[in-house]
Structure 1
Amino acid sequence: MKKVKVGLRPIVSKLNLPTVLKTTRLPGDSIERLFIATQVGEIFYIGNGDIRTFLDIRPQILKLGTSEPGVSRGGYDERGLVGLAFHPQFYYNGLFYLHYSVTGTQGPGALSEHFSPDPCDPKTLNLRWVNRETQYDHIDTVEEWIFQSNGQPQKRRTILNLRRPFFNHNGVNSLNFSPESGNLVLTTGDGGAGYDPFNLSQDDMEIAGKIIEFDVVKNTFIDNPPVVTRFDELPVSIQETLTVIAKGVRNIPGISYQRFYNQYIKYVGNVGQDLVEALFSFVHYKPIPVTQLVQASLTKSKIDQEGFINFGWRGWEGAFPTSTKNSCSANPSLDEKTIAYYDESINTSVKRLQPLASYFHKDPRPEKFGGTALTGVHPYMGSAIPSLTGSVVFTDIARRNESPTRGVLAYTRVRTDCKLSDFSVIETDYKFGSQSAYYVSLGSNLDQSRLYLGVYGSMKVTDFNQGTVFEIVPDS
């Protein structure tokens, strides 16, 4: 693929972890502004050359960097404010939506010890999440807010309260609006711990590990729903507002839409376990109403899932059957890899969606890189960087075994023959010096003619004010 070099133009610095980058027009405003949501609970926007606070919900965010009350996890965390979406008619109705981890909800976690599947021990392959009301990590909430005429945002209602088994895989950039249906889309993640120990991602009744659409117009009087983990625990009036687009999700940094004539290509990235990160694309899909899923569960009948999207996790990690690694300490290049869930890999082998492109945690090929975790996927439809026009740009949080730490910017293109696409690293001209630079988020403006990159100087959410947001611009 063609080598591409770009510039990084700093827009704002000394932020906390910039997890979501979106643009919209404020009611009564004439220009599109960049909004930045930080993991600790702040939302800023860029106005007239300076940064302004739009909303600050830090007191409502769970204390980050702890694994249970008072116990530190070393500052790394995947909870917090992880989703922000503006209604397509935000300019007129002022509605926007938040997804965050709620203060005071810290629990002990669903398992008391580290989980790793052992193909030789069936007990490790078929765990069940029991005692969910006491054995969980935290509660996430999805809320509807309104930007009032006096310029002050105010919460209107709670749409979902979701109990999570572990601290990680809650989704990031987890809220977006579908330009096809007009519905709010939530990407949930499998609940965490690695290897999806309870196989929540393939269970049709589990909210975890899915892409879900909310009809936010239907039954707008619903508020304060119960705290749940499964669709069948929701009141029927809420079930009727939900459809499921996809399952088999490990963790997704959002969903993006690229207009192609009179339809949309959807792009998502599924964060990998130990071997591979995967990008997916699809156009046609068959969503399933939650009421149908619940009815099928009650009657113990099978529902037609032809056309329903399945990313394959936990049986598949990208284009590979999910594997466990047995390390060869004398020679790491000989690490043994064993299929973790052979039966599940077989069962989902044909049903799953094939990746658009994959990249690997170890890659000996020249001009490639060893990845860590996918953090953003966006189509680029601008003309300022012609070499990228029409391509799919993605970010990885950190190039493996590089010091000082640097994230990776790369791109791929959709092949017309449906074969796995190659990818190419995008070179950048910015000099970070000795400072670490983790690429934590990727965003775009409304017509996808501009791309924004969120960078952080640490992997710890407890290290404050080390974030910078850049615009990706032509190389100077």
Structure 2
Amino acid sequence: MIKVKVRLRPIVSKINLPTVLKTAILPGDTMEKLFIATQVGEIFYIDNGVIRTFLDIRTRIIKLGASEQGVSSGGYDERGLLGLAFHPKFYNNGLFYLHYSVAGTQGPGALSEHFKPNPCEPRTLSLRWANRETKYDHIDSIEEWILQSNSKPQKRRTLLNLRRPFFNHNGVNSLNFSPETGKLVLTTGDGGSGYDPFNLSQDDMEVAGKIVEIDVDKNTNIYNPPVVTRFNELPVPIQETLTVIAKGVRNITGISYQRYYNQYIKYVGNVGQDLVESIFSFVYYKPIPVTQLIQASLRNTNPNQEGFINFGWRGWEGAFPTSIIRDCSTNPNSDEKTIAYYNEALKTSVLRLQPLTSYFHQDPRHDKFGGTSLTGVQAYMGTGIPALTRNVVFTDLARREESRPPVRGVLAYTRVRTDGKLNDFSMIETDYHFGSQSAYYVSLGTNLDQTKLYLGVNGSMKVTDFNQGTVFEIVP
């Protein structure tokens, strides 16, 4: 794959950490505007080079970067405003959708101590999430809002209230509309910690670790649904609006749709554990209505999962079985190690989807990089950067080789192979000089027809370090 060079053109700087970058045409307007959602709860848009506030929900967002039990102290956090999507008919109906972690819902977390699977302690491989009403970290809300005729946004209803076990793996850029079905697509992570302690991602009843389509055009007449963790806890009218596209998700950076003749290629990035970050692609899939999953569960049968997408987690990390390596020897002088695999590695080995590409956390090849965390995946259909046309661009938070300050993120690209096999990737060189400031690449976005790419960069990984965000357009 050829090496591509691009320029980063700053659009706005000194904002908070930018988690979602999208464009939309405001009702009564003619031009697409770039919208920027920040993790702390602000949504801005750019109007003729001027930054304007669209909505500020900071008071609705959980206190971020706190050092309470179950939360990583020191300002790093994976909660906050995580999803923003505009209805396909936003120009006419003013509807848009938010996913955020709700203020005042801080809990103690699902486990009282840090989790690490231990092959010498088999019970750590089959834990269950007990006492969910009290042992959780926070509640996430997925809501429908409307831009009123006076240009003031107002909340209309809550679609889902989800109880989350840990502070991390809630997804990011988690709301997108499918151009195929017209439905809202929620991409949610496995609930957090590491190694998916309760195997939520493979359990058909768990909302965590899934890609879910929501039919927002169906009115359930339920405006504040109960707080749940499992599909069968939802009221039937809400169950009837939901279909599940995929399971086996660890943590996810949204879903990107690329038109290919009369169908769409779907791209999904799955954040890795210890080894690799992976990008998956698929065209055909067979979603399963939640009502069918519940019926199968009640009958203790398996629903027909032919055509259903499974990314393989927690049994698989990309194209590799998830390995748990520990020194289990009773002899302290022995360097004997035990390598164990989850049972799910066997159960999902044939059923899972193979990744389009994976990149390692450590890679000695001079033209590659060691990754940290995948933060964005977007198809590019523009012609301004010809080498990237009809390819898929992705970002990594921070290059492992440059993990000492100043840190630099990475841009790269790949493409779908016609034989469906694992493909290589190539780095994209940028011209921008960040100086002595760190530059974590935290988000990637595109405009409506995917002819422009936007990159969100932050000078710190602490959500409590304010005004360190910059949004760039990626240009030739």
Query: TM-score with structure 2 length normalisation?
Result: 0.96
Give the corresponding residue for 1:350: 350
The alpha-carbon distance between structure 1 residues 108 and 416, as it changes in their structure 2 partners (threshold 3 A), is same
Q: Please tell me the residue identity of whatever aligns with 1:115.
A: F
Give the corresponding residue for 2:109: 109
* 2:253 match: secondary structure: coil
* 2:400 match: secondary structure: coil
Q: 1:434 aligns with which of 436, 445, 461?
A: 436
The alpha-carbon distance between structure 1 residues 323 and 70, as it changes in their structure 2 partners (threshold 3 A), is closer
The alpha-carbon distance between structure 1 residues 217 and 198, as it changes in their structure 2 partners (threshold 3 A), is same
The alpha-carbon distance between structure 1 residues 235 and 408, as it changes in their structure 2 partners (threshold 3 A), is same
Query: Is 1:186–1:212's contact at 8 Å kept on the other side of the alignment?
Result: yes
Provide the C-alpha distance between the structure 1 equivalents of 2:239 and 2:293, rounded to a whole number of angstroms: 10
Provide the C-alpha distance between the structure 2 equivalents of 1:469 and 1:302, rounded to a whole number of angstroms: 46
Give the corresponding residue for 2:414: 412
Query: Per-residue deviation at 1:69?
Result: 7.3
Give the corresponding residue for 2:332: none
Query: Per-residue deviation at 1:70?
Result: 11
Higher mean alpha-carbon deviation, 218-227 vs 178-187, is at: 218-227
The Cα offsets for residues 49-75 of structure 1, whole Å up to 9 and x where unpaired, read as 100000000000000002437987110
Query: Is 2:71–2:167's contact at 8 Å kept on the other side of the alignment?
Result: no
Higher mean alpha-carbon deviation, 20-29 vs 115-124, is at: 115-124
Provide the C-alpha distance between the structure 2 equivalents of 1:335 and 1:142, rounded to a whole number of angstroms: 48
Give the corresponding residue for 1:272: 272
The alpha-carbon distance between structure 1 residues 261 and 444, as it changes in their structure 2 partners (threshold 3 A), is same
Provide the C-alpha distance between the structure 2 equivalents of 1:129 and 1:136, rounded to a whole number of angstroms: 9
The alpha-carbon distance between structure 1 residues 125 and 183, as it changes in their structure 2 partners (threshold 3 A), is same
Aligned length: 467
Equivalent residue runs for 1:63-212 within 5 Å:
63-68=63-68, 73-212=73-212
Query: Per-residue deviation at 1:36?
Result: 0.1
Provide the C-alpha distance between the structure 2 equivalents of 1:127 and 1:440, rounded to a whole number of angstroms: 32
Provide the C-alpha distance between the structure 1 equivalents of 2:54 and 2:187, rounded to a whole number of angstroms: 24
The Cα offsets for residues 124-170 of structure 1, whole Å up to 9 and x where unpaired, read as 00000000000000000000000011010000000000000000000
The Cα offsets for residues 10-37 of structure 1, whole Å up to 9 and x where unpaired, read as 0000010000000000000010000000
* 1:401 match: secondary structure: helix
Q: Please tell me the residue identity of whatever aligns with 1:132.
A: R
Query: TM-score with structure 1 length normalisation?
Result: 0.96
Q: Please tell me the residue identity of whatever aligns with 1:85.
A: A
* 1:160 match: secondary structure: strand
Give the corresponding residue for 1:330: none
Provide the C-alpha distance between the structure 1 equivalents of 2:70 and 2:260, rounded to a whole number of angstroms: 50
Provide the C-alpha distance between the structure 2 equivalents of 1:70 and 1:254, rounded to a whole number of angstroms: 25
Q: Is 1:387 aligned with 2:384?
A: no
The alpha-carbon distance between structure 1 residues 335 and 101, as it changes in their structure 2 partners (threshold 3 A), is farther
Give the corresponding residue for 2:339: 338
Structure 1 residue runs of 5 or longer lacking an equivalent are 328-333
Give the corresponding residue for 1:222: 222
The alpha-carbon distance between structure 1 residues 318 and 337, as it changes in their structure 2 partners (threshold 3 A), is farther
The alpha-carbon distance between structure 1 residues 70 and 421, as it changes in their structure 2 partners (threshold 3 A), is closer
The alpha-carbon distance between structure 1 residues 104 and 369, as it changes in their structure 2 partners (threshold 3 A), is same
Provide the C-alpha distance between the structure 2 equivalents of 1:173 and 1:15, rounded to a whole number of angstroms: 18
Query: Per-residue deviation at 1:324?
Result: 2.7
Q: Please tell me the residue identity of whatever aligns with 1:168.
A: N
Q: Please tell me the residue identity of whatever aligns with 1:438.
A: Y
Query: Is 2:70–2:167's contact at 8 Å kept on the other side of the alignment?
Result: no
Q: Is 1:454 aligned with 2:456?
A: yes
The alpha-carbon distance between structure 1 residues 473 and 71, as it changes in their structure 2 partners (threshold 3 A), is closer
* 2:186 match: secondary structure: strand
* 1:253 match: secondary structure: strand
Higher mean alpha-carbon deviation, 248-257 vs 62-71, is at: 62-71
* 1:14 match: secondary structure: strand
The Cα offsets for residues 421-461 of structure 1, whole Å up to 9 and x where unpaired, read as 00000000000001000000000000000000000000100
Query: Is 1:64–1:75's contact at 8 Å kept on the other side of the alignment?
Result: yes
Give the corresponding residue for 2:331: none
Give the corresponding residue for 1:331: none
Provide the C-alpha distance between the structure 2 equivalents of 1:109 and 1:70, rounded to a whole number of angstroms: 5
Higher mean alpha-carbon deviation, 67-76 vs 114-123, is at: 67-76
The alpha-carbon distance between structure 1 residues 364 and 218, as it changes in their structure 2 partners (threshold 3 A), is same
Q: Please tell me the residue identity of whatever aligns with 2:467.
A: N
Provide the C-alpha distance between the structure 2 equivalents of 1:303 and 1:366, rounded to a whole number of angstroms: 47
Q: 1:425 aligns with which of 424, 427, 431?
A: 427
Provide the C-alpha distance between the structure 1 equivalents of 2:88 and 2:366, rounded to a whole number of angstroms: 43
Give the corresponding residue for 1:397: 397
Provide the C-alpha distance between the structure 2 equivalents of 1:421 and 1:336, rounded to a whole number of angstroms: 33
Query: Is 1:78–1:169's contact at 8 Å kept on the other side of the alignment?
Result: yes
Runs of 4+ deviating beyond 3 Å: 69-72, 334-337
Query: Is 2:381–2:450's contact at 8 Å kept on the other side of the alignment?
Result: yes
Q: Please tell me the residue identity of whatever aligns with 2:429.
A: E
